[in-house]
Homo-oligomer: A and B are copies of this chain.
Amino acid sequence: GVASAQSSVTLFGIVDLAARSVKNGNAGSIKSVSPNGQVSSRLGVRGVEDLGGGLRAGFWLEGDLSADDGQAAGQSWQRRSTVSLIGSFGEVRLGRDYNPVFNTFVSHDPFAYVGVASTGNLRSRFYATPVGNAGLAARNNNSISYFLPAMGGLYGQVMIAAPEGARGNKYTGFRLGYAAGPLNFSGAYGKADQTGGMVDDATSLIFGGSFNAGFATFHASYEQADYSTTKRKLATVAAVIPTGTGAFKAQYAKASGATLIGLGYVQGLSKRTSVYTNFGRIANKGNNVYTASPSGPAGMRAGQTSTGYDVGIRHDF
């Protein structure tokens, strides 16, 4: 990144492009170049200013980067756009930000919620209609958060998102966690208020934990979404095995109606650059049509299997 002398203002980003193939049962396969093989490509500006007396001000503007086609829709800052005041009291943060439930989920997803091996392929449908609105899944506009300061290993967040006149845009959530030595676990709860077509509020609840055993780090999470009489569940287990400058990653997940197996290998070429390959396979049951990536062909029949693999280059700046 480009940093100034004074306080830090940094222009940063990731360009991650992968050659990918996805096969969706009878619908055949599609070859593509995808901007999110290992993580989501992104571009951003962020900074921190030391105000003295332990007080700091900070901002963070980060947008998606559709590096395969130059982002036809134009640069936005929808990944995160916030301003913060940080002190011994903790952090007050306003803007568009990740919600407490997503913060817990992604901290136990070694595939960073993207790519053919990611549990995001199950979870993205998890919060589809009628369970709730998009804000319940990952990010909320118009949010005000308070984060606990460092207190031993305890950490936590409370978030309220202003409805701005649209009742269903209101989101309230909180997260509480504990990290010490090899152990890190947290739980979170979120609620999106009933809006237009909904007959009830929608809620989500998650627990997740990890244990670093030295030769490998193991992760597990369990998430549940409730809306009226609909209840959806997602359980994940994963392992990351470091190999000097690289890492093997493996993951198994079970959602209502589908299971996922994800495998990956990353070879670091420097702290900022790596090459990698991933493989993912989703087996559907009943009426389900989960796929290993949105970049596969449409028209797969219910209950079929979707597989995907890719090989790519990732460069952080």
Cross-chain contact B4 with A1 (CB below 8 angstroms) = yes
Cross-chain contact B45 with A11 (CB below 8 angstroms) = yes
Cross-chain contact B15 with A81 (CB below 8 angstroms) = yes
Contact with B along A12-37 (1 / 0, CB 8 A): 01011111000000000011110000
Q: Please give, as numbers and ranges, the residues of chain B lying within 8 Å of A47 by CB-CB distance.
A: 317
Q: Please give, as numbers and ranges, the residues of chain B lying within 8 Å of A31 by CB-CB distance.
A: 162-164
Contact with B along A254-276 (1 / 0, CB 8 A): 00000000000000011011010
Shortest CB-to-CB span from A274 to chain B, Å, is 9
Measured CB to CB, the nearest residue on chain B to A18 is: B94
Cross-chain contact B95 with A67 (CB below 8 angstroms) = yes
CB of A58 within 8 A of chain B?
Answer: yes
Partner of A315, one of B58, B68, B71: B58
Q: Please give, as numbers and ranges, the residues of chain B lying within 8 Å of A219 by CB-CB distance.
A: none
CB of A199 within 8 A of chain B?
Answer: no
Shortest CB-to-CB span from A298 to chain B, Å, is 8
Measured CB to CB, the nearest residue on chain B to A269 is: B51
Q: In chain A between 26 and 81, which residues have their CB closer than 8 angstroms to a CB of chain B?
A: 30-33, 43, 45, 47, 49, 51-52, 55, 57-59, 61, 63, 65-81
Shortest CB-to-CB span from A114 to chain B, Å, is 16
A66–B142 alpha-carbon span in the complex (Å): 10
Given A47-B317, A77-B75, A144-B33, A17 and B68 contact (CB-CB distance below 8 Å): no
Q: Please give, as numbers and ranges, the residues of chain B lying within 8 Å of A164 by CB-CB distance.
A: 30-33, 295
CB of A251 within 8 A of chain B?
Answer: no
Given A13-B45, A43-B61, A68-B141, A32 and B162 contact (CB-CB distance below 8 Å): yes
Measured CB to CB, the nearest residue on chain B to A68 is: B142
Most buried by B among A18, A70, A162: A70
Q: Please give, as numbers and ranges, the residues of chain B lying within 8 Å of A317 by CB-CB distance.
A: 9, 45, 47, 49, 59
Measured CB to CB, the nearest residue on chain B to A63 is: B70
Given A162-B32, A165-B297, A295-B164, A96 and B74 contact (CB-CB distance below 8 Å): no
CB of A291 within 8 A of chain B?
Answer: no
CB of A143 within 8 A of chain B?
Answer: yes
Measured CB to CB, the nearest residue on chain B to A85 is: B313
**7 pairs of A and B residues whose beta carbons are closest in the complex:** A74-B74, A70-B78, A33-B142, A69-B141, A17-B94, A57-B273, A75-B75
